[in-house]
Structure 1
């Protein structure tokens, strides 16, 4: 998700939507029964995993380092995640799920406004941590292509669902032409965001988002962009 150089202004983060509500998994029994799993421990471990991934990169990251950072027993960590790759996917998935809640999508009255409402600026430090975490995820997927589907579910699928919901709502209120290919176009922004972050290693900033919405998505939906340079 580079050393600090004093106070810096807030900038938009790649793939970023500020947390609205954090979905958490219900406590689940451990393998073989016993006390239910403590979801708060999972969160602490996955937060530590993101921090370690951003600091060290995927190759140097170890599950023992995560256990120490989370102040968790090694057995607790290994019982939950049998491999480092699976832990990284879950950590990034949690980071992404925390950024969007389909029950709390903004309704500004226009599709353009709704899409832009998904975007929130974050501090430079937060943006850099997430960019480094995404770089670590990219390295992991290159080394373990079998986890590619899980990686897609972690970083793209939540945004596709949010975009689809917003476009369908816009069609229901008459903004979008009836024959628009919603399923295909719902993938446009999330896929470009993932490519920009994972491949180009560049932030998906607000200016680029506006360019995609006004220059590609709205015309594809049969809509015209407003005569404005920025939201």
Structure 2
């Protein structure tokens, strides 16, 4: 299903950031429920309680809206927001573990919706991939650098490469295989790949 052409802008009231947040939240909900191909701007507008013309004034296309919504969902973290268990293994597992079954289901649904976006519009693959993966990479990068600073991990570790391993593998599982991420899988990735790449073994701190 495709959206009709964007209505002509009439100008008007200044942009309301609180309305933007409501629209982006509604976008994620509709994307998770219907997938990218079947979602429409009408559905998002109804869910957000906004006019469709309002959406088109802010986002020229459905693809632009979805990419920004996912980017907001997966915003870049700060070090103070990340887990601090005292060791890298604990931090990584706490970061990657779904907070609840609902959170896990939502993440899988969103990833499936984004997979359909990539198929429908390959030109947006970079933007969509960055929205899904880069915040996760940034989080791991910060945790590994903090482990280096406290002397747990050697200083010559290739942080940039290691930080991409788990996000890339989990994105593949979610988007390509369309399978959930479970705690056992995360622990295996950390113990068999990330810690050895950082010069550590499980239980060695």
Question: TM bucket by the smaller chain?
Answer: 0.7 to 0.9
Tell me if the contact between 2:37 and 2:120 (Cα under 8 Å) persists in the aligned partners.
no
Q: Which residue of 2 aligns with 1:20?
A: none
Q: Following TM superposition, by how much is the alpha carbon of 1:208 offset from its aligned partner in structure 2, in angstroms?
A: 0.8
Q: Which runs of 5+ in 1 are unaligned?
A: 1-30
Instruction: Please state if 1:84 is matched with 2:62.
Output: yes
Question: What's the C-alpha RMSD, in Å, of the aligned pairs?
Answer: 2.1
TM-score of the pair, normalised by structure 1: 0.78
Instruction: Please state if 1:140 is matched with 2:117.
Output: yes
Number of matched pairs: 196
Alignment of 1:46-195 (within 5 A): 46-97=24-75, 100-195=77-172
Deviations 1:42-96 (A, max 9, x none): 1111111111112222111101111011100111101111111111111111222
Deviations 1:130-170 (A, max 9, x none): 31221111111122111111112211111111111111111
Secondary structure (helix, strand or coil) at the match of 1:59 reads helix
Greater helix content = 2
Alignment of 1:196-207 (within 5 A): 196-207=173-184
CA gap of 1:78–1:52, structure 2 versus 1, over 3 A, is: same
CA gap of 1:106–1:96, structure 2 versus 1, over 3 A, is: same
CA gap of 1:129–1:168, structure 2 versus 1, over 3 A, is: closer
CA gap of 1:73–1:221, structure 2 versus 1, over 3 A, is: same
Distance 1:78 1:33 in 2: 11
Distance 1:106 1:36 in 2: 38
Relative CO higher for 1 or 2, CA cutoff 8 Å, sep ≥ 6? Answer: 1
TM-score of the pair, normalised by structure 2: 0.87
Q: Following TM superposition, by how much is the alpha carbon of 1:32 offset from its aligned partner in structure 2, in angstroms?
A: 10
